[in-house]
Amino acid sequence: MRLSFIQVSSSRLGASAKCPACGTGALLSFNWELARTSEQPRRDVSAFVHPRQLRYGVLYECVACSQPWYLCGEPQVMNAVAPERLSLIDRWFQRWQTRA
């Protein structure tokens, strides 16, 4: 067994995924680079569509359930966005866009 100190993903213990495509409900975040490049764990990143470039990071949504996901950081981590936080991100994005 090989131990890794790179955080691969974080999940809600005991919860089951509401969406099989993105894993929302159980999955909270995962390492985007690892998901795209490694065979283990295998994750289908094609479920994440409609990237919107924000000032910091990129907002995606799940092709199956429209759950918003926010990609940011170094290394890049994809985070499930709580629905109540989406309007905040939207407002922030629009303000940034009108200023640019």
Interacting residues with Zn ion between 16 and 55 (CB under 5 A) = 19, 21-22
Report the residue number, 65 or 71, with the smaller CB distance to Zn ion. 65
> Quick one: which of 66, 72, 67 has its CA closest to 92?
72
Residue 62 lies near Zn ion (rule: CB under 5 A) = yes
**Number of residues located near Zn ion, criterion CB under 5 A:** 7
Do residues 22 and 48 make contact, with C-beta atoms less than 8 angstroms apart? yes
CA atoms within 13 A on the CB side of 85: 9
Tokens, residue 90 = 């939207």
Q: Please, are residues 92 and 79 in contact by the beta-carbon 8 Å criterion?
A: no
Q: Mark the segment that binds Zn ion (CB under 5 A) among 9-17, 31-39, 56-64, 78-86.
A: 56-64
Shortest gap between Cβ of 72 and Zn ion (angstroms)?
19
Residues in the site for Zn ion, rule: CB under 5 A? Answer: 19, 21-22, 62, 64-65, 67
